[in-house]
Structure formats: C-alpha cells, structure tokens
Structure 1
Amino acid sequence: MRKLTALRIFTYILLFFLKAKGQVYTPGNHYYGSNNYIEYIAGNMPVIISAPHGGTFIPASIADRTASSCFNDPNYTTAYDGNTQEIARALDTALRNYIGCRPHTIICKLSRTKVDCNRDINYGACGDSIAQKAWNDFHKYINIARSSVMANGTRGLYIDFHAQGHTVQRLELGYGPSAADLRQQDTYLNRNSIKNNSSIRNLAANNFNGQTHAQLLRGPYSFGTMMANAGYPSVPSTQDSFPLTSDLYFDGGYNIRRYGTADSGYIDAIQIESNYTNVRDSKAHIIKFADSLARVIVRYLQTNSIPLAQINQCLYVGISGNVYNAKGGTIPNVSMKLTGDNGDAATCDANGKYSFRELKAGNYTVRPLKNNDINKKNGVTVVDALLVQSHLLGNALLNSPYKLIAADVNNDGALSALDFALVKRFALGLDSSFPGKRLWAFIDSSYTFPDPTNPFPYKDSIAYKAIVSNKTKQSFVGVKLGDVNDDWSAAVLSTNITTAKPIELYYDNTNVHNAATIILPIRVKNFRGIKGMQFTLHYNPALLEIAGVRRKALEIDFATNHITEGSIPFLWIDNKGEAISLADSTIVMELVFTKKGWVQDEDIQVTNSIIPTEAWDNNFNKVEVVKSTGKMNDLVNAVDNNEGWEILPAAGNHIQIKWQLGSSKTLHLQLFTASGATISIETPRSISKGVSYQTINLTSNHHLAPGIYYLKANGLEGNNVRQVVIR
C-alpha cells in the first residue's frame, strides 16, 4: 500500500470537514476568499485551472514583497504574467461551450508584488498576515477542487497558467524534469529518479496506451504534441523535443510539484508558460487559444487516462439557435420553453437568439411561444383579410405553407370562412388574440412540408432523445397569425402607395345650432377599383357622443370599444371579393351624434390611432385614405349664409318650426324613430326666403308614445335633422 502523504491526509480531512459543515459549491458559481483577493469558480469536471500571477490588485494594506522581506528567496521576482487570468476565464467558457462541463478555476487577483501563490508561504507571503490569508485561500480552493474531483472517483488534470517573455515563441510545458533532463535520451527520462519527481508520475505508471514517461512528455500522445498539432508550438513535444542549451525554459514551479502526482495521488499536473504572440496579445487570440486548449485537454485525457463519459461526468449539454420569420428577419422576445428531464425557459434576445446551457444529458423538447406583442395588431390589416378571402374564393391561392399557416388563425388545420371572419375582427380591433389566446405559430426550420399546399399538421417543436452533446442551430420559423402577407417586419407583396389619387372621406359644412342630434353623411371621392379599406375616425368625446352608424353605399364594419376615447375603427371588404368603384359624393355611411356642448369649427379626423389607415386596390397596391373637407359649427352665421331652422316650444303636442332661408326652397318633412324607422313623410311644400314659421301637430294622424323622435327637413343642405320630444 502506498504511504499516505501529508497532502493527501490534508485533502481527505478537508473533504470530510466540508461534508460535515454542509458546504456545497455549485458548478458555475463564483466564491471568494478574504477581501475578494482570491476567486474560485466551481466546476464539475476532472480539470483544475489556476492563474497565480495574473492579478493586478495592489492594496496598501499589504506590504510590498522585497527580496529581503521574502527571506532572500533565491528565485524572488514580482514579474506580472499578463492576461493569464483572462486565459483561465476564457478556458472556463471554452470547455463549457465544448462539452457542457466547467473546470474548477482558481484565480489570484492580487499583484505579484503583494503575494506569490506559486511559492511556499514564506517566500510567497513574506510574513504579511493579509498576504498569508490570501495565499491560504488560494491553496484552500485548489484543495476544494481536488476534493471534488476525487469525490467523483476519477483521475484528473491540474494546469497552472503562467506567462513567459522568452525569445522563442512557444508554449513551455513544465512537468518537473529540467531542460538538461529533457536533452537526454528517453531511457534517461524513464529512470525512476526522474519520473518519480514528475508531476505526471501517476499517468506514466497507468495510461491507456502503455506510454512511457518519456513518450508522455514528447511522444505522439503528449500534451505538447497535441498543442503543436493544434497550431501552438510547444516544448517538449514530438515537433520540439527539448530546449536548446541557449534557450530559457521553465520546468515547473511550486504548485505542480505540490499538487501533481510526483509524490502520490491521481491528479496529474502541467505548468503552462504561455508565449505572447498569437496567444496573449489580443482578446481574439486569447479566445482562439482557449478554444484550442479546451479541445486538447479533452483529447489528452480521453486518449491517456479518463474515459469521455467520466471527463463529461457533469453530463451537461446545451441547446441553442435562432427564431426568424419566413424571410429571414429576426424575431426578438420569443419565449422558449424546455420540457423533459429538466424544465427551463429562455427568451430570445434582440437578434432572435436563444440558448439553454448546462442541461443534464437526457430527453428534451424545445417549443417557442409568443404572446407578448406590445402592438398585437402589428402586421394584421385589411389586406390580410382580403388575401384569405381571395384564397377561399379561388381567385388567388396562397402560395407558401407559411402563408397558409398564418391564415389558419383558429388552428383547425384548414382555411374557412371562420378564419376570414376572425382576421377581420382582429384587424378591426374587436379581438386581441385568436382562439386559444394565440398570436404566433412556430415551425422547426429544418422541417420539410410533405405537401406545401396543405402544411397541416406541421412540426412546431424540436425533440431530442438521449442528448449527449451540444445542439446548435436549432432554429424555428415564426409566423404571425393573421399576417398573411408577412409584413410584420417587411412586406412580401408590393405595398407601395399607388400613383392614384387618395380616397377622400368628407362631409358638408354643417350648422348644428340648437341641434341636440347631429347626422353627418360621410361621402367619398376617388373611390375607384377598391377591394378593401380600413381607417379610424376620431371625434371630440367631450363635445360629441356617438349615437349610431348607418351603413349606406358600403356594408362597412365598425367597432365601438374605443368610443369613450372618441375613436371608431372601420373596416370594409367586398363580400364577393370584387373591386368596387363609387361615384364621387356617394354617401358611404351616416354618423349620428348627440351633442354634449358648444361646437365651434369641430372636425372629425381620419387617424391611425386604433388601426392603420389604408385601402387596397384590385392589384393589392396600397391606396391612401384621407379626410378632406367638413366642419361642424354652433355659430348661426357660420354655415350656409345664415340658413337654418329651429324647433320652438308650442302648446300640447304641437311644434313650431322657425325657418331661416337664404333662398326659397321646396322642402318636405320626414318623421322617424330613434332607431331610424320612418313614421311619415309630408307632402313637399314651398318655404319662402327669409324667416318664416310653421306649426305642426305631430299626433293628429299618428298615435305616438312618449319618447324621442327625429324630424328631417329633406331638401335642406347641412344639418337637416332635429330632435323632437313627445311627453
């Protein structure tokens, strides 16, 4: 039985103590020693990394190290190993990206002028109590890492990172044997006196391929040869067996001699003295070097001492990819749901990228979800309803599986009149989502539709069975439901404004003096070859209250869920899917308002406040919609050259009408209910120019119940309706 050394006894005692205290170090978490001078990133693979000389902190509370204060250390130096802690951190990332596991990483953040963690404590801390505490923290964390590796019953590898400024640009790998030793024959390197002082003694005694100590230093399976093959010249290696007598060379310091297997144990050690050029001279080179080093570490262990399953004992994998639309545009803020052996969630970033990291190997399913659009109607307008209608009528079939999926808003695997109706309601603002509270559909980007003209059902998730390696480029195509022309990000069809004149909505200037109810006929101009139209009309809700909308030339749909804001969205599509033309001044609808206050130069505006304002012609070109003329006024002389009429109080059920006309006119009165049903139409009569009066008995020929009625003066321009109350 091999004799237990003091180091091994200390390690086992530390492991027992930590278990007894319940201390748990979670892989990937950062832990710090006193004053945060030492940092430990816990790992979950049999690899330990340290960087003792890459720190830059120079606290005044710690005395500077000097040769005399360090007990005349013959190897005293305060040289800074630039960018070595950056390499250690990059290696942590590289290994995590490569196999999903993390090494144990220990970093000294103090400058070497304050502490040297690659010397014994006397030479390293030089008697300063704070430096001694930092030194002890550094080595405590190495022992914690060793205990973690040993607790999993595996062998391991410890790498101590340094930097050298020697002339020859290469990695100098230190195992214990000196430069003079390396210049000897292999038989010399295989002597017990040499290999028993090597930091890879255990590996030389027990490796998969029966390699000798000399072969493990510079043979085909050596660390140096693998690094050289990766593009980083190294000594010793097959390519560069030993340093020349004129070359400077670091053969390994305190840390690898203490923590390697020269004395005992199962964690071999290598000191890497990294050159500057192409390794430490830029961030890009550091990352590239770390990526290559990560692969060599795994290959070195797998080839010589540890099965891959044990190297990857954390059994962590990653899944990552992108979400984009059918045209390749990114879709941000998609919720990615992971189910299976472990559940998780992620959100796509601004570039549509997502990732799940540190997943235990097993079975998983990734499924995207999105219902967080700020503007839920984004991309869904009247043109999408037109395209669905055109497909249903057989006039123009949707020509891609993604458009068909976008049109199937009720998710029943077929296109129907219900989908058409739901798209219209959504575009109008009546609904904020489609059945099932859905706004988006997602398809595995690698999925091939067996029949692109009938894409249902489609693959809306990606499943993995017994995943044991990282999965990248696991992407999805996102489809906004209802957005058949895919203009959520950019239009597929031409959406250029045509050179045709814009459609004008207007009404006549209207005098509303003494009028409790206002009826505005809304007319159109330049309505030529139009298949669909949508817009929002806005009025002042403090002065006007909408009482009704009467459809005339167009069977136009509207919504009243924003009337408290003074907005009404309108949407029209021809029921037969045909392009319609209307003569100028055609009345498309009448708006009925109750007046709440004094009106002066009041206007009704066309806005984009609820739904975008647009129309589409027979070729699916967008046409502008504008509001042109029309004002309402309470001023008696504001409209029609002082023309107007009033209803004056009279006895019983009689009313008296005051006419004020600028010219003689033939008029006839029409009485109708509040719902618009006509009760009677009087015989036309001539009303003279100027002021005149007319008395009418409303109940002489009709039995009218008490209530509100309306009287219309046909033949009079402007606001020709007045309210009548029967008591």
Structure 2
Amino acid sequence: MKKIFCLLLLVAVVKLNAQGFKAGYSYFDDNKWTEFSVGNMPLVISVPHGGLLMPPDIDDRSCPDIVTAHDSRTIELAKAIDSVFRRDYGFYPSLIICNLKRTKIDQNREIEIATCGNEAMKVPWNYWHNMVDTAIAMATKKYGQTVYIDLHAQGHPHQRLELGYLLKTAQLKELSTGNNDTLYTAKSSLHNLIYGSKGKLNLKQMLTGSNAFGTWMTESNFPSVPSQQDPFALEDEKYFDGGYNTARYTKYPNVFGWQIETNYKGVRDTPSAYFTFAEAFVKNIMRYIATYTDIDVKKIGK
C-alpha cells in the first residue's frame, strides 16, 4: 500500500514539473471549478465544501446516503489564513479550493458517491484531487514532511473547533484514560508523525496534552475538541472525526494532519473573525511545525 502512495506522489511530481506551477500563483481548471493556490511551505489546506457555483447544465447529485450541506465561508477563512501567513512570515500554504457547490460534487467522498455516477463530474473530481496530490508532492519534496489540513464548517450547538484525527468519540474517551495508545496511533491521522519520532511522541500527548494543537487553540480563545481542556465530546454531542480526504492524504508517506470543523460564532460570522481565527491558527500551526517536525522553520519559504 505504501508503494502505491509513493507512486501517486511521484506522478504528482512529474505533473508538477510538466505544468510548471509557481509558488504565489493561482491555477484553475478551464471552468474555474477548482482553484490551486500554490504555496511555498510545508502546509497544504484543502477546502472541499465551500463553493457556491451551481452550473445549470449539471444535474444535482441524487443517490443514497449523500450529504449536500454547504460549508459557509470556509473559502474566505482559508484565504484569510493565506493572507496572515504572507503578512507575518512572507510565505504561504498551498490552498486547493472547490468552487462548485456540494449539490453538484462532494470533494470529500470517494468518486462514485462524490459524483453519484455522473461521468462528466468525474473530471473535476480527479482534477481537484490531482491538485492536492501535486501540492503535497511539492511540499514533501522540498521539506521532507507536510502538514495537511482539510477545512470544513459545522453547525453543531457547541461553538468550538472539532479537530478530526480519524478517531471517534468513544475512542477519544478511551484514549483519555491512558488505554490503547498504540492501537489508536495506527488508526489516527498522526501516525506518520508519531512513528517517525521513534518513540519521542505519543498520541495522547499530541491530542490532549499541554502542547496539543487543540490545547493551544483553546488558549488562543478558540475552544477545541480534543484538547487538554476538552478531551472528547460527550455522548449526546455531535462531533466530526475526519473524512475521506483526511484518511486518504495522511496515508501518504511523511504526511500528517487533521480535519478542522470550524464553528460559526467568532470564526466565520464576520470578516474580522476570519482574521482573528487565522492569526491564532497561523501562530499555532507554526508552533506545531517547530515543535514536532524535523523542518527548520528558518528555512521555510527560501
């Protein structure tokens, strides 16, 4: 399986060299359904459900078990993160944005459910995921490691960030007691980072320790689960644990990350909130890279 992922990254590198993507520029497919904003740091952010385009000649998805809810203002949020990186550091992440509404395509599902079998829509599905592959290939080729974030929005009653590491509520609860760290490490979206540390890191520390990303975001006034302050959602609380994209891309060698489900109030409700959140995210993701990876942060963007 690992050989397959290595081959996918190799193909993406070939595509990258052939197309001549340059950092700081945005590239689109012919219909502008996908935007690939090329970064120059070891961070790739995908935004699969923020689009609003509804081409009338494309049928709405209609097949069993689909979800069509729109992740409002997540594109604006991703671009605010990009702007803060550029302003504060002079470098920036890669952004892969789907501009199509989720009623037409779901870029966080495998291809058949994503398109409901519409052959024409398999083209933009493949294009979008090829751009994620390319962005990851660029970052890992230059830096050796890459953080991957799949950015979403949630409308649950609790106004907090839901960080999805591919572990369900019951598993997070069990992990918080100190059990099954080894088992859940293998299942989690941080397995590449933890295994690569050769015993220096453990999953419980990474999710609910004093230096967990969720803990830092909570201390930055963005309550998060899991975190030291809120290690797991309660049984009657909704929680998104991560989807297709997180599972797919954190299997790639030297890639690790998580899904972020952003709440509305104080994050997506106003333009000023976008930037307040972006500033906290940028500060803490840089701290994360400096603390947990082998990347020399002084050389990022150079």
Normalised to the residue count of structure 1, the TM-score between the two structures is: 0.40
d(CA) in 1 for partners of 2:294 and 2:81? 19
Residue in structure 2 matched with residue 101 of structure 1 by the alignment = 91
* 2:300 is the counterpart of 1:313: yes
Q: Of 64, 81, 93, which residue of structure 2 is paired with 1:91?
A: 81
The letter for the 1-side match of 2:81 is L
SS of residue matched to 2:158: coil
Equivalent residue for 1:210, pick from 200, 211, 219: 200
* Alpha-carbon separation, structure 2, partners of 1:37 and 1:227: 32
Instruction: Assess if the C-alpha contact under 8 Å between 2:42 and 2:143 holds in 1.
Output: no
Alpha-carbon offset, residue 189 of structure 1 = 4.2
The C-alpha deviation readout for 1:585-634, integer Å capped at 9, x for no partner, is xxxxxxxxxxxxxxxxxxxxxxxxxxxxxxxxxxxxxxxxxxxxxxxxxx
Are residue 142 (structure 1) and residue 132 (structure 2) matched?
yes
Aligned to 1:286: 274
2:285 to 297, 303, 309: 297
Partner of 2:119: 129
Q: How far did residue 152 of structure 1 move?
A: 0.8
Partner of 2:179: 188
The CA distance in 2 between the partners of 1:162 and 1:126, in whole Å, is 21
> Shift in Å at residue 265 of structure 1?
1.0
How does 1:403-442 map onto structure 2 within 5 Å?
Answer: none
Q: Is the 8 A contact 2:25 2:38 kept in 1?
A: yes
Deviation at 1:272, TM superposition (A): 0.2
Residue 65 of structure 1 is matched in structure 2 by 61
Secondary structure of 1:36 counterpart: coil
- Alpha-carbon shift at residue 202 of structure 1 (Å): 1.2
Shift of 1:209: 8.9
Q: Could you say what secondary structure the match of 2:282 adopts?
A: helix
C-alpha displacement of 1:105: 0.3
CA 1:42–1:17: 2 relative to 1, 3 Å: closer
Q: 1:141 to 1:86 in 2, by over 3 A?
A: same
Per the alignment, in what secondary structure is the counterpart of residue 31 of structure 2?
helix
Distance across 1 between alignment mates of 2:287 and 2:270: 26
Asked if the contact 1:62/1:128 (under 8 Å) is kept, the reply is no
Tell me the amino acid that sits aligned with residue 188 of structure 1: N
**Deviations 1:162-205 (CA, angstroms, capped at 9, x unpaired):** 0001111100000101011011144334123x211211101122
Question: Structure 1 stretches of 5 or more lacking a match?
Answer: 316-727
Q: Which has the higher helix share?
A: 2
1:36 match: 32
Alignment gaps of 5+ in structure 2 = none
> 1:4-55: per-residue Cα shift (whole Å, max 9, x none)?
3423212112313443x3x221111010023110000000000001110000
Structure 1 residue 307: Cα displacement? 3.5
8 A contact 1:189–1:214 mirrored in 2: no
1:313 & 1:208 partners in 2: Cα distance? Answer: 24
Q: Aligned to 2:253, which of 262, 265, 277?
A: 265
Distance verdict in 2 for CA 1:47–1:128, change over 3 Å: same
Moved more, 127-136 or 224-233: 127-136
Distance 1:185 1:313 in 2: 34
Deviates more, 1:196-205 or 1:35-44: 196-205
**What is the alpha-carbon distance in structure 2 between the residues aligned to residue 169 and residue 209 of structure 1?**
35
Deviations 1:692-725 (A, max 9, x none): xxxxxxxxxxxxxxxxxxxxxxxxxxxxxxxxxx
What CA distance in whole angstroms lies between the structure 1 residues aligned with 2:265 and 2:199? 34
1:660 maps to none
- What TM-score, normalized by structure 2, do the two folds share? 0.95
Q: CA deviation at 1:61?
A: 1.8
Bigger Cα Rg: 1
Computed over aligned residues only, the root mean square deviation of the Cα atoms, in angstroms, reads: 1.7
Indicate if the aligned counterparts of 2:290 and 2:297 stay in contact, CA closer than 8 A.
no
Letter of the 2:122 counterpart: Q
Secondary structure of 1:35's aligned partner: coil
Superposed, which structure 2 residues align to 1:145-164 within 5 Å?
145-164=135-154
CA distance in 2, matches of 1:24, 1:146: 15
**Superposition deviation, residue 210 in structure 1:** 2.0
Report how far residue 295 of structure 1 moved: 0.8
> For the Cα contact (< 8 Å) 2:210–2:228, is it kept in 1?
yes
Equivalenced residues, count: 301
Aligned partner of 2:11 among 10, 13, 17:
13
**Which amino acid counterpart does residue 90 of structure 1 have in structure 2?**
A
Are 2:215 and 2:228, in contact at CA under 8 Å, matched by a contact in 1?
Answer: yes
1:54 has 2:50 as partner: yes
Q: C-alpha distance in 2, partners of 1:82/1:215?
A: 32
Aligned-pair distance for 1:306?
A: 3.6
Deviating beyond 6 angstroms after TM superposition, the runs of 4 or more aligned structure 1 residues are: none
Residues 547-572 of structure 1, C-alpha deviations (whole Å, 9 max, x = no match): xxxxxxxxxxxxxxxxxxxxxxxxxx
**1:209 & 1:313 partners in 2: Cα distance?**
26
Contact 1:226/1:300, CA 8 A, preserved across alignment: no
Structure 1 residue matching 2:70: 3-state secondary structure = coil
Match of 2:230 among 233, 237, 240: 240
For the 8 Å contact 2:36–2:97, the answer to whether it is kept is yes
1:106–1:189 distance in 2 versus 1, CA, 3 Å? farther
Match of 1:117 among 89, 103, 107: 107
- The amino acid that maps onto 1:218 is T
Identity, in percent, stands at 36
